[in-house]
């Protein structure tokens, strides 16, 4: 096919007597069926442009019939089409003609790809609002019925999402029909449809009259909640939340609670998991009275469930549950009915359960207050800090701030330290990485003294870790510490240790020094940088390893803005020029980059630089064609680096021309 | 003797203009239908031609056959009673389908001479390459489609000829519907392992819209394929005229919206999902769950549960890998979901045991809820006991009440409610018991035979050697041995039961154990879900038999 050849050449080709404005549209229309998915996708995304050009009449009679049959296409095209059609009402002639959009969306609602179907349903819901009540019954409701009684379950699942939008605006006779259709989908043969119905049950219940909810939705809910497939039953739990909000306390007790109790003790762990997972929502929906009578005992059972997944889900909800209890008598309930179960979970056999608990348990301290925290919770925290599983310990450490507010961190420090040290030396580098990230937080909470005494050596040890990610994290950690403790502290404790590493026999450690200087220079300020760091960097320019040398160039570029111009002119420039003559092409390249950056700074300060016979090194630059280019270098013509065209900076990325 | 088959293909599409053409009955050559030889990225489109094949297509693919009644072991003709089928249980050959050879993957544009050559390739059995050997056979849920996978990583789908009033005898014929390359050979650079493209299993998904979906797997990767039809094509360009020439942009004064016009039916196969990187060992089974949203894949030591929509994570539900691999005593050989209860599944082991697990009980099904094992008879114990007790296939009955297992010499039917022994045991080829030593030496003892139920769970079928396959009627306790071979079959011929001589004296019509050909094995068979139509894979041939209608 020549399909790919013609279109895509752009509107520039349109000349002569033909209508210029038609050409781009013609290209778009042709590209609706281009072999390249990307072009088709682009065309579909500009469908509104095409429709606008065709006018409402031709859009209705020609474009939409064509689109109705394009369901063979790739998912991403169909998804874009489904989305476009949702906003198409204006383009087909307004609400009076909104029903023209139904056929293409109907066929999209039957494709197998869930995302496309869902998008088509979403668009249908949107369009339904634009229908007049008459049109709704004449066109939209029949569509819903067709989908609901379709042969394939894809169409029936799509129908489930449409009942709630047409119900409120339909006449009473039609309403009865809609309810009837929904009922039959709730007892469909295929679990897919029953699942779709179960997930829309709550939404549908909200638009129904209260009597119908009681007489029709509740029985459907009860049926779905006792479906033979646990994948259906677990969705009924979600519906329970919405239904519970609609009913009075008495009705709730009589109609919904038996089912909910049953779900909390379901044979299938997945259903129980769902109850645990939705616990906070359930708790809010049923109100405080039923919570105390029913949910708390159910929750206790979930906390000691035989399946670890359920226990973990329940453990996650401990804090939210406690927070949502009525403040009056909350403490007693937690102390008597929840805490004993939490105590057991601390020594659970499954690490996921323990780490789930560890991620929320600290939050209880704010609810229970200082005394209870020290007496009851602290032992649990300490036990978890000593847990064998690093994730548990990490979760405790990452939530230390909650406790800090209530009792102060000192209470914990005795147990904290060994836990931190152990994590800092964990065999898994991801664990080490995680603990490094908490260091600034810990440092802030523990104070300078404690930090210097116990943790400083750890932070320095990370700088020579054998994993790069750790060394990198350690460097940025130092920067954050300096921001916290100030430059004086840095000058006394950190900087000397970092600078010593410049003489390390391992070149990776020497490079770490440079990375540290990059990170620290800004935090430390000009004086320390110029006096202590710069000499070391300059000295390293003579390193025998090329990687160190070009990192020197990078460092000089980085710290250039902090240094004063004297230092730049007198010390940095000669060294960079020397590196610019280096035999290694990478070193040369980065030296050139640094020189241009430094030169820019010098020119900006209106400090004329003598134009020396610096070879402008376009030759060297050619070797670096793979490197990402800075802006301003994208012309073929290379401009000498030391040129004084300040306006070029103002022009940003514009090519520099003389 | 008989008429040569009319050399043409017929589409099932009612909109077709070629309704007058006859259907090819045997030796369907996919060569002329196959897509272009160069593997191209999906979607692969397979045009279904309606024009006649070149006349060179000969009669030689049809071979003489003899008729014979369906026999009981005693030799007297006895009907195989099937609730779904008719009473007279004689089996006739409906068609023999050749899976295309690699060399014949030619496009339609090839000229006729080339096609002739390739047809002759097909005709000659000896040209079948290793890649053409069928490695799995599976009917879809309605029985309208039949999929085969081969060692070359291809999937061929056959469609049943639609019934017409004047061609009643034709019912049950299957023609090529779609062919596509499902898996390609790969190399795992981290482990220095070749990953074969061989299709280990195919499973159809319940139909959800007009398209068909199937899962195919090799040793490592499961793929979800969509097979769909297209019979309309957009016509009319703005920038080109009817011949495809570019128009002068200056002449464009009005916009044209493309119009869809009917065209020849195209069947295209598109890969929808690839479920990879979850198996360290070789995948031996896949099974679709009755909840329609999940399936499982089992390898030697683990079983994973997948959601059809999610390819980047799966849940491990069974892991029998010991901490120390030296303590390994058994491997998982097959696994299947219960047909109706979405929470339960079974898996079999190389020790001859079956475990039933309930996914409701816990997320990890390391603890089984039922354990099926037959105590070993000490008198039969030998060096080979362990090898021959390894289960090669496990299948739930359609009712979900029974499970059937195949080990090297027997098929067993277990009641889910009785764990200590099978309710029925059928000897498939007990005469091989004395030959285990040589079967061990030529590795045949490790062959993995599969087994299938008929639509009403009253008959079971499994394969044997020498192109023999066996059927056992569970109600009448009768059994029969049939042969799927091209030497002795012609279309519509009634299959003659075969007998293997076990005693010293060989009667007429009997075959001696020593003359059995162990290279011709029937490992893969399939039974139509509701009718008495069976598909039997013998190396690169696929035979379709059905019970004879009066």
Question: What residue spans define the domains of chain B?
Answer: 99-105+128-225+276-547
Nearest to A531 by CA among A495, A497, A477: A495
> What is the tens place of the pLDDT at every residue in B88-101?
357 877 777 765 44
- Start-to-end C-alpha separation, chain B: 22
Mean pLDDT of chain A: 82
Per-residue H/E/C for A53-103: HHHHHHHHHHHHHHHHCCCCCCHHHHHHHHHHHHCCHHHHCCHHHHHHHHH
**If you ran DSSP here, which 8-state letter would residue B380 be given?**
G
Is B228 or B253 the better-scoring residue by pLDDT?
B228
C-alpha B455/C-alpha B526 separation (Å) is 11
Average confidence (pLDDT) over B241-251: 74
**CB-CB under 8 Å, B249 with A18:** yes
Can you tell me which residue has the tokens 């139909």?
B207
Average confidence (pLDDT) over A44-51: 92
**CB-CB under 8 Å, B234 with A14:** no
Q: Which domain holds residue A60?
A: 22-130
C-alpha B108/C-alpha B110 separation (Å) is 5
Do the Cβ atoms of B344 and B356 come closer than 8 Å?
yes
Chain B CA closest to residue A266: B360
Average confidence (pLDDT) over A601-609: 58
pTM above 0.95, yes or no: no
Least confident of A215-219, A432-436, A443-447, B410-414: A443-447
b/e per residue B56-88 (b: at least 16 CB within 10 A): ebeeebbbebeebbbbbeeeeebbbbbebbeee
> What is the tens place of the pLDDT at every residue in A252-310?
999 999 999 999 999 999 999 999 999 999 999 998 889 888 899 999 999 999 999 99
Count of the separate structural domains present in chain A: 1
C-alpha A483/C-alpha A524 separation (Å) is 8
**CB-CB under 8 Å, B293 with A231:** yes
**CB-CB under 8 Å, B363 with A231:** no
Do the Cβ atoms of B522 and B528 come closer than 8 Å?
no
Which of A75, A191, A235, A265 should one mutate to test binding to chain B, selecting the residue with the greatest count of B CBs within 10 A? A191
Q: How confident is the model at residue B233 (pLDDT cuts 50, 70, 90)?
A: confident
Which of B249, B295, B317 should one mutate to test binding to chain A, selecting the residue with the greatest count of A CBs within 10 A? B249
Residue A599 tokens, joined: 């030169």
Question: CB neighbours of A207 closer than 8 A, spacing ≥ 6?
Answer: A164, A167, A168
Asked whether residue A99 is assigned to any structural domain, the reply reads: yes
Do the Cβ atoms of B525 and B461 come closer than 8 Å?
yes
Q: What is the pLDDT of residue B356?
A: 96
The two beta strands, B499-501 and B510-512, are parallel
Question: CB neighbours of A200 closer than 8 A, spacing ≥ 6?
Answer: A160, A161, A163, A164
pLDDT at B547 over 60: yes
Of A14, A114, A269, the CB nearest to B249: A14
**CB-CB under 8 Å, B290 with A22:** no
> What is the tens place of the pLDDT at every residue in A405-416?
777 766 777 767
Do the Cβ atoms of A181 and A145 come closer than 8 Å?
yes
Average confidence (pLDDT) over A83-103: 91
pLDDT at A658 over 60: no
pLDDT at A520 over 70: yes
Q: How confident is the model at residue A524 (pLDDT cuts 50, 70, 90)?
A: confident
What homologous superfamily is domain B99-105+128-225+276-547 in, according to CATH?
YVTN repeat-like/Quinoprotein amine dehydrogenase (2.130.10.10)
C-alpha A45/C-alpha B192 separation (Å) is 45
Strand order in the sheet with B91-98: B91-98, B541-547, B533-538, B524-527
Alpha-carbon distance A9 to nearest alpha carbon in chain B (angstroms): 11
Do the Cβ atoms of A644 and A608 come closer than 8 Å?
yes
**If you ran DSSP here, which 8-state letter would residue B376 be given?**
P
Nearest to B28 by CA among B61, B64, B1, B54: B61
Is A312 or A390 the better-scoring residue by pLDDT?
A312
Q: What is the pLDDT of residue B329?
A: 92
Residues of B with CB under 8 A from a CB of A: 206-211, 213, 226, 228, 230, 232, 234, 237-240, 244, 246, 248-260, 272, 290-293, 309, 341-343, 359-363
> What is the tens place of the pLDDT at every residue in A362-388?
888 888 888 888 888 888 888 888 888
Neighbours of B178 (CB within 10 A): 27
Nearest to B256 by CA among A29, A2, A51: A29
Q: How confident is the model at residue A521 (pLDDT cuts 50, 70, 90)?
A: confident
Can you tell me which residue has the tokens 């689109």?
A67
Work out the widest C-alpha separation in chain B, in whole angstroms.
94
Asked whether residue A93 is assigned to any structural domain, the reply reads: yes
SS3 A423: helix
Q: How confident is the model at residue B380 (pLDDT cuts 50, 70, 90)?
A: confident
Which of B224, B252, B295, B400 should one mutate to test binding to chain A, selecting the residue with the greatest count of A CBs within 10 A? B252
Do the Cβ atoms of A51 and A93 come closer than 8 Å?
no
C-alpha B114/C-alpha B333 separation (Å) is 44
CB pairs under 8 A between A and B: 130
C-alpha A506/C-alpha B91 separation (Å) is 81
User: Which residues on chain B are in Cβ contact (under 8 Å) with A152?
Assistant: 207-210
Q: How confident is the model at residue B127 (pLDDT cuts 50, 70, 90)?
A: low
Asked whether residue A100 is assigned to any structural domain, the reply reads: yes
Do the Cβ atoms of B469 and B481 come closer than 8 Å?
yes
Average confidence (pLDDT) over A220-234: 92
CATH at A105: 1.25.10.10
Do the Cβ atoms of A601 and A609 come closer than 8 Å?
no
**CB-CB under 8 Å, A268 with B360:** yes
**CB-CB under 8 Å, A63 with B343:** no
Asked whether residue A86 is assigned to any structural domain, the reply reads: yes
Nearest to A592 by CA among A562, A557, A644: A557
> What is the tens place of the pLDDT at every residue in B263-294?
888 899 999 999 999 999 999 999 999 998 99
């Amino acid at each position: 096919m020549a399909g790919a050849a013609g279109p895509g050449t752009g509107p520039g080709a349109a000349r002569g007597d033909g209508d210029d404005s038609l050409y781009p549209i013609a290209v778009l229309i042709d590209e609706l069926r281009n072999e390249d998915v990307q072009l088709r996708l682009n065309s579909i995304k500009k469908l509104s442009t095409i429709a606008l050009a065709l006018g409402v009449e031709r859009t209705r009679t020609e474009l939409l019939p064509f689109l109705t049959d394009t369901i063979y296409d790739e998912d991403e095209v169909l998804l874009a089409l489904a989305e476009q059609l949702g906003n198409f009402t204006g383009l087909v002639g307004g609400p009076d003609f909104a029903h023209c959009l139904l056929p293409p969306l109907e066929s999209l609602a039957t494709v197998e790809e869930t995302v496309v179907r869902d998008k088509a349903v979403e668009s249908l819901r949107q369009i339904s609002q634009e229908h007049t009540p008459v049109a709704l019954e004449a066109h939209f409701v029949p569509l819903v019925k067709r989908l609901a009684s379709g042969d394939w379950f894809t169409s029936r699942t799509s129908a489930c999402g449409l009942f709630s939008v047409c119900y409120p605006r339909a006449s009473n006779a039609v309403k009865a029909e809609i309810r009837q259709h929904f009922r039959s989908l709730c007892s469909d043969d295929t679990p897919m449809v029953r699942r779709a119905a179960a997930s829309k049950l709550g939404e549908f219940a909200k638009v129904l009259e209260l009597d119908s909810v009681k007489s029709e939705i509740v029985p459907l809910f009860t049926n779905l909640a006792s479906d033979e497939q646990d994948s259906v039953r677990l969705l009924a739990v979600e519906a329970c939340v919405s239904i519970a909000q609609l009913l009075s306390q008495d009705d709730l007790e009589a109609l919904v609670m038996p089912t909910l109790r049953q779900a909390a003790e379901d044979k299938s762990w997945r259903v129980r998991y769902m109850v645990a997972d939705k616990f906070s929502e359930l708790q809010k929906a049923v109100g405080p009275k039923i919570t105390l009578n029913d949910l708390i005992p159910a929750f206790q059972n979930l906390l000691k469930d035989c399946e670890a997944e359920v226990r973990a889900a329940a453990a996650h909800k401990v804090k939210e549950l406690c927070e949502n209890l009525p403040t009056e008598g909350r403490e007693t309930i937690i102390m008597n009915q929840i805490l004993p179960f939490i105590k057991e979970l601390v020594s659970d056999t499954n690490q996921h359960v323990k780490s789930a608990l560890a991620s929320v348990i600290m939050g209880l301290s704010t609810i229970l207050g200082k005394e209870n925290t020290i007496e009851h919770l602290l032992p649990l925290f300490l036990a978890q800090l000593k847990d064998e599983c690093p994730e548990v310990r990490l979760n405790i450490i990452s939530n230390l701030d909650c406790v800090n507010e209530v009792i102060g961190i000192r209470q914990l420090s005795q147990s904290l330290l060994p836990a931190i040290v152990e994590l800092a030396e964990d065999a898994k580098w991801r664990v080490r990485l995680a603990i490094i990230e908490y260091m600034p937080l810990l440092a802030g909470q523990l104070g300078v003294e404690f930090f210097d005494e116990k943790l400083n050596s750890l932070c320095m040890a990370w700088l020579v870790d054998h994993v790069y990610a750790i060394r990198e994290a350690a460097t940025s950690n130092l920067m954050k510490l300096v921001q916290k403790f100030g430059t004086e502290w840095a000058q006394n404790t950190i900087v000397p240790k970092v600078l010593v590493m410049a003489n390390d026999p391992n070149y990776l450690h020497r490079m770490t020094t440079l990375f540290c200087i990059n990170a620290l220079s800004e935090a430390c300020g000009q004086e320390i940088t110029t006096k202590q760091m710069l000499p070391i960097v300059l000295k390293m320019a003579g390193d025998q390893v090329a990687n160190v040398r070009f990192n020197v160039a990078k460092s000089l570029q980085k710290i250039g803005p902090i240094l004063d111009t004297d230092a730049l002119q007198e010390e940095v420039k000669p060294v960079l020029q020397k590196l610019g003559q280096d035999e290694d092409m990478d070193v040369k390249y980065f030296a050139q980059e640094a020189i241009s950056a430094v030169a820019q700074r010098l020119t900006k300060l209106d400090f004329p630089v003598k134009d020396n016979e610096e070879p402008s090194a376009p030759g060297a630059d050619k070797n670096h064609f793979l490197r990402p280019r800075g802006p301003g270098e994208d012309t073929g013509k290379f401009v000498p680096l030391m040129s004084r065209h300040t306006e070029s900076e103002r022009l940003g990325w514009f090519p520099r021309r003389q | 003797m008989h008429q040569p088959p009319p050399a043409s293909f017929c589409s099932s599409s009612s909109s077709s203009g070629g309704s007058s053409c006859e259907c090819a009955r045997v030796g369907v050559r996919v060569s002329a239908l196959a897509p272009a030889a160069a593997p191209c990225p999906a979607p692969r489109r397979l045009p279904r031609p309606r024009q006649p094949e070149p006349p060179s297509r000969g009669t030689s693919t049809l071979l003489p056959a003899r008729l014979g009644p369906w026999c009981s072991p005693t030799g007297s003709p006895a009907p195989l009673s099937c609730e779904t089928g008719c009473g007279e249980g004689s089996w006739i050959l409906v068609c023999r389908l050749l899976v295309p050879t690699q060399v014949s993957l030619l496009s339609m544009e090839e000229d006729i001479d080339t096609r002739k050559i390739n047809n002759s390739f097909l005709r000659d059995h000896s040209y079948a390459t290793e890649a053409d050997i069928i490695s799995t056979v599976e009917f879809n849920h309605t029985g309208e489609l039949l999929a085969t996978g081969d060692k070359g990583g291809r999937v061929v789908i056959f469609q049943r000829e639609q019934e017409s009033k004047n061609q009643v005898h034709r019912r049950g014929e299957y023609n090529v519907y779609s062919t596509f390359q499902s898996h390609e050979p790969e190399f795992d650079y981290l482990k220095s392992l070749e990953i074969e493209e061989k299709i280990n299993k195919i499973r159809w998904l319940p139909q959800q819209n007009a398209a068909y979906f199937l899962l195919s797997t090799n040793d490592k990767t499961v793929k979800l394929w969509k097979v769909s039809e297209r019979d309309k094509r957009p016509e009319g360009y703005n920038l080109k005229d009817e011949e495809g020439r570019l128009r002068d942009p200056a002449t464009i004064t009005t916009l044209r919206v493309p119009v869809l016009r009917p065209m020849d039916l195209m069947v295209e196969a598109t890969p929808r999902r690839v479920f990879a990187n979850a198996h360290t060992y070789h995948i031996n089974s896949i099974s679709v769950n009755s909840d329609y949203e999940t399936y499982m894949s089992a390898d030697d030591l683990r079983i994973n549960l997948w959601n059809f929509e999610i390819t980047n994570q799966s849940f491990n539900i069974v892991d029998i890998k010991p901490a120390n691999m030296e303590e390994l005593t058994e491997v998982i050989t097959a696994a299947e979901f219960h047909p109706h209860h979405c929470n339960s599944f079974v898996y079999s082991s190389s020790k001859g045991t079956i475990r039933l697990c309930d996914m409701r009980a816990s997320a990890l099904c390391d603890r089984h809820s039922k354990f099926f094992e037959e105590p070993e008879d000490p008198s039969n114990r030998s060096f080979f006991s362990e090898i021959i007790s390894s289960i090669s296939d496990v299948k739930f009955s359609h009712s979900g009440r029974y499970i059937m297992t195949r080990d090297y010499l027997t098929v067993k039917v277990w009641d889910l409610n009785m764990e200590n022994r099978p309710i029925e045991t059928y000897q498939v080829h007990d005469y091989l018991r004395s030959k285990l030593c040589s079967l061990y030496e030529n590795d045949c003892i490790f062959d993995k035979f599969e087994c299938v139920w008929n639509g009403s769970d009253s008959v079971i079928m499994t394969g044997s050697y020498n192109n023999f396959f066996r059927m056992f009627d569970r109600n009448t306790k009768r059994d029969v041995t049939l042969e799927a071979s091209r030497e002795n079959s012609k279309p519509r011929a009634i299959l003659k039961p075969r007998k293997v001589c076990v005693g010293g004296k060989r009667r007429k019509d009997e075959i001696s154990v020593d003359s059995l050909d162990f290279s011709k094995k029937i490992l893969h068979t399939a039974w139509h879900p509701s009718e008495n139509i069976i598909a039997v894979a013998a190396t690169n041939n696929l035979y379709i038999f059905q019970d004879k209608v009066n």
